[in-house]
Structure 1
Amino acid sequence: MKLTTIAHCIALIGVSNLAAGITYAQSLPVEKLQKVEITGSSIKAVQKEGALPIQVITAEQISRSGTTSVEQLIATLSANGTTADNLSSQAGIQLGSNDRNNNGNSSANLRGLGAGSTLVLLNGRRVSLHGAKGNAVNLNSIPLAAVERVEVLTDGSSAIYGTDAIGGVINFILKKNFNGVNLSARTNVTQGGGGNTKGISIVGGMGDMDSEGYNLMATLSYDKQAILNSHQRSFVNGFQPERGLSPDTTGTPFATQTGGAGTAIGSSYKLPTTGAQTYNRANLLSFQGKCESGFGMTQYQSTLWGNPQFGTSCAYDYTGQAVLIQPVDNLNLVTRGTLKIDNDTKAYFEVVGSRSTATKQFEQSQITTSIAAKNAYPVGGPYYQDLSSYIPTFDKTKPIAYRWRCLECGGRTIQTVSEQSRILAGIDGVIGGWDYSLGVSTAKSYANSVLGEGYMKRAEFDAALASGKINPWLKAGETQTAEALALIQGAKAAGTSLFGGRASLTQIDGKISGELFSLPAGMVSAAAGFDLRRESYQFKSDESATVPVRDAPFDATFAKVSRDITAIYAEMAVPVFKGFDAQLAIRGDKYSDFGNTVNPKISFRYEPIEKTLMFRGSVNSGFRAPSFFQLYSGVSISPLPGNVDDPVLCPKNPGNLQYCGIRPDQKAGGNINLNPEKSKQWSIGTVIQPLNWMAVTIDLWDIKRDGIITELDGTAVIKNPETFPNSLIRDANGEIDYIQAGYVNADGDKLRGIDLALKMNGNLGTAKWDAGIEGTYMKSFKSRIFKRDTYTELVGEWYPRNLYVRWKHNAFVTYSEGNWSTTFSQRYTAGYKDERPSGVVPAGFVADVKPYTTYNLSTSYSGFKDLSINVILIDLFDRTPSFTAHNVDFAGGAGWDPRVASPLGRRLSVSANYKF
């Protein structure tokens, strides 16, 4: 049955359930309030809405959403940044060390402040950072099948948790007391083909804490994400010049000759028909007006890119060769045992382990040859290409330098295996009326990346190219000789270890909370705790000096480093007067590698009209310690990701490839003199419940960060020579030798926004309904590198890594009656100003990227004995991602934006859960 037909069936089921029994509205019973400990505080309190904005996502809500991974779940949060921290965005070319080690890693990024500024907890405690990434938790390591609920604190909380918590905290609470066996299976099938997912999990438990005094449980789950290729989606098209989009590359399957001293076309040339215009690229198919006859090739759009000297060359739409979604296999295990020692004390242990395998694939390598590299095509070679009939100055006595897209080499692939574990033992209890908790844990993460197809050993491949036996000018239907294919195969670097990283965390923590004394307005409660941690990290790049590899993103090795953190903290909840409570918190941290920091927090909760109106707010400071990679990584050398012009010599020598359209090396590395980032932030909000079945929350938040750690990218340096005058390192001839880049403490940024939510529920005859919407309005996000700079407003503007859209929301309505439940939901992301072409803007260019809206419809049935089934149609109307003219070189996707949209399209998700 076609997926569209299935969609119609689900829609009819949903509508019929919504229509059934609608006679009158009646409010639901008010929930009983309990004394609980919530994320963001160590003090247990009785309150429905507290001083801090907490969003709770239950396992049932996760099931209704159709999300199959924690990455997808976090992406649905309106407070999570519209960022490149997902595996689809990472399919593009990465810039800088922050991204190059993302292989297999997905991160949370609240407020868009960076993955390192969001603290991810598992059952309220830390886990190890990703072994390769080194500054963020890998979301793929979180076992979604074992999650009972997720608590999201969208307020800074360094005063409670320490570093990483500037943007907020995401706490994954796992199932803890389970008896029986629960088997579940799920699949997610796309209508367009490709990108399907499937998974299975089993949860087993024995013992009851209340009657038997113990509980043992285990969860084992396996999920598989299939690959989605560009050619499987029609909207992936990098050649739409009328809309301002075209590939900026002359590395084509039918090679383009390039200029330079000692080459056949020289540094530049002129044509009799174009006057004084000089050129430094030449493609035979372009002269013949037949660029489109080559595989994936088009005429290079020199006007659009502002490169008239490339006007006689072809381009290659390599976006059609990219992978839209990486294939990922996830295996997760959770075991937990709890023993009731007496009525006031219980001990527990927990073991969590995961293994994730992700395969990233780029387009085929662009090969650039030169006289200096001794890999140019030789004079007298069997495939020597003579362009004398087109270029009067062509010198066929000299070798040919060229740019060639090596299709025979294959797509460049990197496979990363990430393994993560945590062992935790703890004891909770009550002594003298005070709650206490002690725990000791050790967590480790290991990640290793290995090169697959498409990467070539430099020396062997250069020798093969210089032999002249490989033909870079194959026409459609032609193939390389057996000898040439053997040379290519022999130069492949498949199996070469790229890099590996190890991160570990050892922690001893404890806390105690209880009531101190009574005031006229109520009891004063307090909590105090300590946190002792040792964090370590080691990174090894396995590139050998004797076997260098083309285009491989190697980073510099550094030996194992570690830091010790000693922290103490205290909280106090004070009922100032009836309806008004204040909460005070302070934390001191001592870091062995950069010193001490103290961060306070003050928050309040004021309820002038009980159960109807409440005000809340907080003021606090925060900090984020530099990551090990930012501090200690050695110098790495890599070519710039794109061509640039020497800002001094190119204007004096226009068109000369020695100074224009060059790709110099950039050097980057750690900086042991980095200071921690610091923040000051506040929030103020209100909760209004005008009716007992309706509640509205509005929270205004403001964050200002100083000393933000940023990596100076070589491209940014060369485009701003006045700002970075000492970063262009020149040789004795005055030419750029390399660009000095790396980590620095920049000035900072400031952002402000509003979180809004509306929740409603009630009865419709014998049925129940729930509805709600939660969204984030980003009023401003301004950033600058140095204080002498003016702030740049980023909200609503295209930006390479993080987007800061004006508005995001999720809305839903659920109707439940008997064994049936139906949910209709909407997810909306506002549009933004598009990246403008660098040359002449075409008449058809539209600067506004349209908003992206999708709808889901789910229906669940639990009428079978011990069996429940959930069927979800995701992206009900099969929304095509909004068009954007940005090029894939500097962000994932071309013609669409994976930070905003999903390339999967309409898909059917079916899950079944059987209990026995």
Structure 2
Amino acid sequence: MAQSTEEESATVSEIVVTGSRIRQANLVTTSPVTQVTAEDVRESGVSRVEDLVTQLPQAFAAQNSTVSNGASGTATVSLRNLGSTRTLVLIDGKRMPYGSPLDAAADLNQIPAQLVERVEVLTGGASAVYGSDAIAGVVNFIMKKDFEGLEITAQYGQYLHHNDYDGPGNLRSVIEGRAATNPAQFQLPDDDVQTGFSREITAIMGVSSPDGKGNITAYAGYRKNNKVLGRDYDYASCSLGGQNAAGDSFTCGGSGTSYPGQFTDFANYAYTLDANNDFVPYVGSRDAYNFGPLNYYQRPDERYNLGAFAHYQVNDKIEAFAQLMFNDYQSVAQIAPSGNFGNTATINCDNPLLSTQQRGLICESDLVADIIDDPDTTDNEVQDFIDGVIAGGGTSADALDQIAAAAGVQSCTAAGADLIDPCPLYILRRNVEGGGRQSHLNYESYRGVIGIRGELDAAWSYEVSAQYSKVRLAQIYRNEFSVARLTRALDVVTDPSSGAPVCASVLDGTDPNCVPYNLFRRDGVTQEALDYVQVPLVMSGYTEQQVVTASITGDLTDKGLVSPWAESGLKLALGMEYRRDALDLVTDVTYSTGDGAGQGGATIGLGGANSTYDLFGEFQLPIVEGLPFAESITVDGAYRASDYAQGGKTDTWKLGLDYAPVSDIRFRASYQQATRAPNVIDLFTAQGFNLFDLDDDPCDFTDPNEDGTASSSACIGSNPWQVTSAQANNGFLTSPAGQYNYLQGGNPDLNPEDSETTTFGIVFTPSFLPGFNMSVDYFDIEITNLISSIGAANTLDACYTGGLQQACEAIQRNANGSLWSGDGVVVDLNTNIGGLKTSGVDINAGYNLDLADFGAASFGTLGFAFTGTWLESLETDTGLGFANSVFDCAGKFGNTCAANGIAASPEWRHRASVSWGTPWDGVNLGATWRYIGEVEIDSGVTTRLDSTLEDQHYLDLNGSWQLRDNVTLRGGVNNVLDNDPPLSYSVGTTGNNNTYPQVYDAMGRYAFISVTASF
């Protein structure tokens, strides 16, 4: 994990270091490089390489196996939390393709973990060397080569957790209280759970040519991970809804789209069904739907992969090489059931599915509205009217007249009118009969690389390569409702022939297959109705990448290009590259028309391509070598000019300085300017609805959990972004699930974003302490004209707090003032915003010692490794120019940071490990301490139970035993102490099930065992 030592690098005279095409002696660069080895992968027991990479304090998970709501099915990494599209992923220095037509970042599921020799992570930016998408850095997977023989590894693992949550919030007793009144939705899981079983078997086979000039290394593997459900954990078996009035306990919240349903009339008075199928008042704290338990904490997946790496020395000048890789990956993302999310707004009052009592309430809602709006009407009079209808099973015309007269209004029945038909009715009812919404994702990826390389003469070498990659996506979304079918299935009348309920569309012939969907009774939904209203949603697509690269590198020492104070001369790398990235996404009619009830809006296909021609160059020049107080001084630099078909011309450059006054210490610094052109998804994503997270609607003046209310003058009015006084005070504006609608989409007029990266540090390799090395590096990365979106939550703040007209015009509330039901939405399309910058310090250290040197020969060897990062700032500027338009997410979490895709970002993270090569033949033991610092809520409210997510300490243990010369047994336990994750009710879709499982160990203790046999 630490910087390589002089001893390690002495075995190889010149190697290629990530971040440079120039071969260098030793792993010494002006930009910091952190390393993960194959042994680290084996000792951690991970079956997914991204799980180990994101343990590095410089790396954060974006998409991974813990994402269900909004899962692309890919596994991506975001260095410095700057976004996965700004992190370039390489295999042996060659770039990986877009991971999906849904996500431009590379998919780490394509990496065969069994073939990884090491992972080099460069976090100082490398756009001048590799291209614009390396602004945050590079993750380079170096694969095994020249393998000979056959190696088979089988591994098994599982999560083991004891449910005894004792963190803040008194959660277990809260769930027990809810279970007493609603056992169908609230249950504490078993005390001890075993879940998330993982199986993997891999094989590597290698053979060298008889003349020793070439080698083919092939691999094949199969992996299967089982699902993990939120309901298996006490801290995830209740969707947090805030905290009680006393502030000493969490509450169990949930979604207003509930079971047996929430029925809201025009006056926003809400009902639900009692055991007798009568309407009774809907009470959110009692009736909200607990959606968390069915969410997947870990998505199940299944993967097959195979491939081969080959090279052959044709002659003294030509070595041919090739890589062939295939990956078939399947996963399922599950979230809570779909339903009618207010997708239908009216009901016909002659509907035979309605009882007399139900019809009396909702079909006279115009009278209720009149009574409520009348200034002389008291709350008690309104409640008396509602209670009278509920108790009486309906209200007679005379009774309505009397109530209306008392309120000073005229009833429709008094005027001799019929009941309003159709009458307004928003239905929020969960499809518990159909089960969770499931996105079945399947990716097939193909990657091929061919090329030649060699030495032209003693000074110059070359490499020419071509690569082609293709990723195919097939997705089926199951257990979803069709809005069109749902509308027809609720438009029910009495069949004049049979007297039975029948869809009006059957009688008029527009849809003879329609089946009435009776959600006005708890047991009213039939399988036939469910089969009719549920539809699969289908999308398919592909990404394609073609790259042709030619480069030459030269050491011009023998040509006389040498500083007078140095022995080594100028080194150069020059080259050119052509790259084309294309994608295509096709969605079916249900997706593209927004007919999926639980999709939040339409998902429209897209297609496009972008190509670039690059010229690049690097140099490295030793200025001084071997002088007093100047053991070495070296400067290096790089330049890259790019011409994009979409995005115009850009250029990127870098300068670096390395100074070693003595051999024990080096100082290094680098500066880089880079430009990132928009990718195909940035440019061409079609507009469609999605969801964003927010604890409270700022114009809801009634919500007890509200962190800060906007002024009435900002909220109340007749503009599209404003609400009426009644709406602001009826409690309907805040989504019970904390999710609201926004309109997303690409922008073909995007400009490239610019970045500046500065790093400087010190590398310490003391000769008086052999085997020890340490580096400390400061980094500062600033991106301007950031390609992003403002963030819907930031838009609300800018309107209601900052009074910014531009922001207000992006807010479009529906008829009842809501942004979470119906067609209420915040427009949040891709644009160039102000910027994003981060700064901090990385520390890497390692120490290897033989205990025999200390007179303890019988105790073996010890190895220590440490890597840590202090995050000084992670600052976003929306560019809106009001007081809150710049916010810093270092050490923070919450809705403001989540608006720009940033999860919990602790100020300090580290990973420290020790390995012991025991004196017992073939036995090695190890331990790792992972630390994640505390984070505070970004709203600044300190009275919340979750205002601070406490720091976390994780202990991992591992060991190996070489049973025979060719058989090795390994095992270990990660999160040995079975820590519970910190909880918050503000994690939203950036997290999952009340926490951030991509940051914290959310599923408890993980135990694994593996056996490797070599032949």
* Band the TM-score falls in, shorter-chain normalisation: 0.7 to 0.9
More off after superposition, 794-803 vs 824-833: 794-803
Alignment of 1:321-720 (within 5 A): 321-369=294-342, 372-374=345-347, 378=351, 381=354, 385=358, 391-392=387-388, 401-433=426-458, 434-452=460-478, 454-467=479-492, 470-472=517-519, 479-480=523-524, 484-494=526-536, 496-497=537-538, 499-516=539-556, 517-519=561-563, 520-521=565-566, 522-544=568-590, 548-552=595-599, 556-558=603-605, 560-578=607-625, 579-610=632-663, 612-637=664-689, 644=697, 648-649=717-718, 651-655=723-727, 660=733, 666-690=742-766, 691-720=769-798
Structure 1 or 2, whichever has the larger Rg, is 2
- 1:717, CA displacement in angstroms? 3.2
- 1:85, CA displacement in angstroms? 2.5
- 1:787, CA displacement in angstroms? 5.9
> Among residues 918, 937, 940, which one is paired with 1:834 in the alignment?
937
Alignment of 1:182-221 (within 5 A): 182-191=151-160, 192-208=193-209, 211-221=211-221
Counterpart of 2:569 in 1: which secondary structure?
Answer: strand
Counterpart of 1:861 in 2: which secondary structure?
Answer: strand
Structure 1's 376 and 205: CA in aligned 2 closer, same or farther, altered over 3 A? farther
Residue 986 of structure 2: aligned partner = 886
> Among residues 781, 802, 820, which one is paired with 2:923 in the alignment?
820
Alignment of 1:259-298 (within 5 A): 259-260=265-266, 267-268=267-268, 280-283=269-272
CA contact (8 A) 1:51 1:604 kept: yes
- 1:79, CA displacement in angstroms? 0.3
- 1:877, CA displacement in angstroms? 0.9
Residue 167 of structure 2: aligned partner = none
Determine what percentage of the aligned residue pairs are the same residue. 21
Residue 810 of structure 2: aligned partner = 727
- 1:726, CA displacement in angstroms? 3.1
- 1:731, CA displacement in angstroms? 9.9
| In structure 2, C-alpha distance between the alignment counterparts of 1:299 and 1:732, rounded to whole Å | 22
CA contact (8 A) 2:439 2:476 kept: yes
- 1:473, CA displacement in angstroms? 6.0
Residue 50 of structure 1: aligned partner = 29
CA contact (8 A) 1:357 1:417 kept: yes
CA contact (8 A) 1:369 1:375 kept: no
Counterpart of 1:724 in 2: which secondary structure?
Answer: helix
For the pair 1:165 / 2:109, whether they are aligned, the reply is no
| In structure 1, C-alpha distance between the alignment counterparts of 2:917 and 2:114, rounded to whole Å | 23
- 1:583, CA displacement in angstroms? 0.6
Residue 794 of structure 1: aligned partner = 889
Residue 752 of structure 1: aligned partner = 839
The residue type paired with residue 300 of structure 1 is G
CA contact (8 A) 1:134 1:503 kept: no
Offset from partner CA, 1:193-230 (integer Å, 9 cap, x none): 22111111111111158x43221221011111110011
Residue 629 of structure 2: aligned partner = none
Residue 20 of structure 1: aligned partner = none
Offset from partner CA, 1:806-860 (integer Å, 9 cap, x none): 011101110003311101111111121136699xx9x772411111221111010
CA contact (8 A) 1:413 1:451 kept: yes
| In structure 2, C-alpha distance between the alignment counterparts of 1:455 and 1:782, rounded to whole Å | 39
Structure 1's 62 and 792: CA in aligned 2 closer, same or farther, altered over 3 A? same
Structure 1's 660 and 860: CA in aligned 2 closer, same or farther, altered over 3 A? closer
The residue type paired with residue 108 of structure 1 is V
The residue type paired with residue 621 of structure 2 is V
- 1:419, CA displacement in angstroms? 1.4
Offset from partner CA, 1:8-60 (integer Å, 9 cap, x none): xxxxxxxxxxxxxxxxxxx9999545211111111111124332211122111
- 1:143, CA displacement in angstroms? 1.2
Counterpart of 2:1001 in 1: which secondary structure?
Answer: coil
| In structure 2, C-alpha distance between the alignment counterparts of 1:748 and 1:590, rounded to whole Å | 23
Residue 896 of structure 1: aligned partner = 995
| In structure 1, C-alpha distance between the alignment counterparts of 2:865 and 2:309, rounded to whole Å | 35
The residue type paired with residue 436 of structure 1 is Y
- 1:233, CA displacement in angstroms? 1.5
Structure 1's 389 and 199: CA in aligned 2 closer, same or farther, altered over 3 A? farther
For the pair 1:908 / 2:1007, whether they are aligned, the reply is yes
The residue type paired with residue 233 of structure 1 is Y
Counterpart of 1:747 in 2: which secondary structure?
Answer: strand
- 1:283, CA displacement in angstroms? 3.7
1 or 2 for the larger relative contact order (CA 8 Å, sep ≥6)? Answer: 1
Residue 808 of structure 1: aligned partner = 909
Structure 1's 402 and 200: CA in aligned 2 closer, same or farther, altered over 3 A? same
Offset from partner CA, 1:711-760 (integer Å, 9 cap, x none): 24545434433251432458999998754331110010221100002211
Counterpart of 1:112 in 2: which secondary structure?
Answer: coil
Counterpart of 1:316 in 2: which secondary structure?
Answer: coil
The residue type paired with residue 661 of structure 2 is P
For the pair 1:91 / 2:68, whether they are aligned, the reply is yes
| In structure 1, C-alpha distance between the alignment counterparts of 2:347 and 2:355, rounded to whole Å | 18
Structure 1's 423 and 762: CA in aligned 2 closer, same or farther, altered over 3 A? same
CA contact (8 A) 1:854 1:876 kept: yes
Residue 951 of structure 2: aligned partner = 851
CA contact (8 A) 1:198 1:223 kept: yes
The residue type paired with residue 727 of structure 1 is A
Counterpart of 1:195 in 2: which secondary structure?
Answer: strand
Offset from partner CA, 1:157-206 (integer Å, 9 cap, x none): 11101111011001111122111111111111222322111111111111
| In structure 2, C-alpha distance between the alignment counterparts of 1:487 and 1:641, rounded to whole Å | 33
CA contact (8 A) 1:253 1:473 kept: no
Structure 1's 712 and 64: CA in aligned 2 closer, same or farther, altered over 3 A? same
Offset from partner CA, 1:399-444 (integer Å, 9 cap, x none): 6543222201210011111111111111110111212111011111
| In structure 2, C-alpha distance between the alignment counterparts of 1:668 and 1:757, rounded to whole Å | 40
Structure 1's 510 and 414: CA in aligned 2 closer, same or farther, altered over 3 A? same
More off after superposition, 47-56 vs 390-399: 390-399
The residue type paired with residue 233 of structure 2 is R
For the pair 1:69 / 2:169, whether they are aligned, the reply is no
CA contact (8 A) 1:605 1:617 kept: yes
The residue type paired with residue 816 of structure 1 is G
TM-score, L = length of structure 1: 0.85
Unmatched 5+ stretches in structure 1? 1-26, 95-101, 261-266, 269-279, 302-312
Structure 1's 30 and 424: CA in aligned 2 closer, same or farther, altered over 3 A? closer
Counterpart of 2:128 in 1: which secondary structure?
Answer: helix
CA contact (8 A) 2:343 2:597 kept: no
- 1:896, CA displacement in angstroms? 2.2
CA contact (8 A) 1:118 1:169 kept: yes
CA contact (8 A) 2:790 2:833 kept: no
- 1:865, CA displacement in angstroms? 2.6
Counterpart of 2:881 in 1: which secondary structure?
Answer: coil
Structure 1's 175 and 726: CA in aligned 2 closer, same or farther, altered over 3 A? same
Counterpart of 2:529 in 1: which secondary structure?
Answer: helix
| In structure 2, C-alpha distance between the alignment counterparts of 1:181 and 1:370, rounded to whole Å | 59
Counterpart of 1:354 in 2: which secondary structure?
Answer: strand
The residue type paired with residue 753 of structure 2 is E
| In structure 1, C-alpha distance between the alignment counterparts of 2:8 and 2:17, rounded to whole Å | 23
TM-score, L = length of structure 2: 0.77
Offset from partner CA, 1:64-91 (integer Å, 9 cap, x none): 122111221221111013x542221x22
Unmatched 5+ stretches in structure 2? 1-5, 161-192, 362-383, 396-418, 493-500, 502-515, 626-631, 700-714, 852-856
